[in-house]
Amino acid sequence: MKSKDPLYFQAVALVLGSHKASISMVQRKLQILYSRAATLIEEMEKTGVVSPADAVSGVRQVLLSQSPVRAPLEWTPLPEDPLERQQFDQDFGGQRGDIRLKMAQILKTWGTSNPGGSFAATCNIMANEIAKLHIGTATVTSDVVGQCPDKGINCAPVRVNR
């Protein structure tokens, strides 16, 4: 289920961080109306973040821990073999350009086409790391999806900011 409320993920972060599914806490921290906070908590119930309210006390239990949502992304680049690199450049480089930059373009397009989730964040991080392998330090951004006629695949034009 995808929430229509732009504050949904902030509300989830509050609930997970405090280990408390309180409508009034969400209301106070996000400075919103009680009814909107209640709707956010109900959405969390539907998505399995919190339990239904207890029939007697009305207390909801937080069902998720914070760790799966905020698991750190570990990125360990492997050492490059110069002979493999030379063969790779011969096979995919030359007139078509460095394939690593095209990979970064595609990842960035995936990240920008589906903003707000962990998948998008992972794509953006990977795109930047791949671009760094190619040009040192960089941020790759994309605006429009285009065609790479030589391969017949979708890719995005990029702008590299140093």
- State how far the Cα of 132 lies from the Cα of 34, in Å rounded to an integer: 46
> What is the tens place of the pLDDT at every residue in 22-36?
999 999 999 999 999
Residue 76 in domain: no
Mean pLDDT to the nearest integer, 124-133: 67
Residue 1 in domain: no
* Residue 149, pLDDT score: 40
What pairing do the DSSP bridges indicate for beta strands 139-142 and 158-161?
antiparallel
* Residue 38, pLDDT score: 94
Look up residue 38 and give its two tokens: 């209640």
Cβ distance 138 to 131 under 8 Å? yes
Residue 57 in domain: yes
Residue 146 and residue 112 share a domain: yes
pLDDT tops 90 at residue 161: no
Residue 31 and residue 58 share a domain: yes
Confidence of residue 121 (pLDDT cuts 50, 70, 90): low
Residue 45 and residue 13 share a domain: yes
Predicted TM-score (pTM) of this structure: 0.42
- Count how many domains the chain has: 2
User: Residue 136 is part of which domain span?
Assistant: 82-161
Mean pLDDT to the nearest integer, 108-128: 68
Residue 90 and residue 155 share a domain: yes
> What is the tens place of the pLDDT at every residue in 46-91?
988 899 998 898 899 998 765 444 445 566 666 777 787 777 666 6
Residue 24 in domain: yes
Alpha-carbon separation of residue 50 from 36, 62, 135, 155 (angstroms) = 16, 4, 45, 40
Residue 87 and residue 147 share a domain: yes
Residue 86 and residue 58 share a domain: no
* Residue 158, pLDDT score: 45
pLDDT tops 50 at residue 143: no
Residue 131 in domain: yes
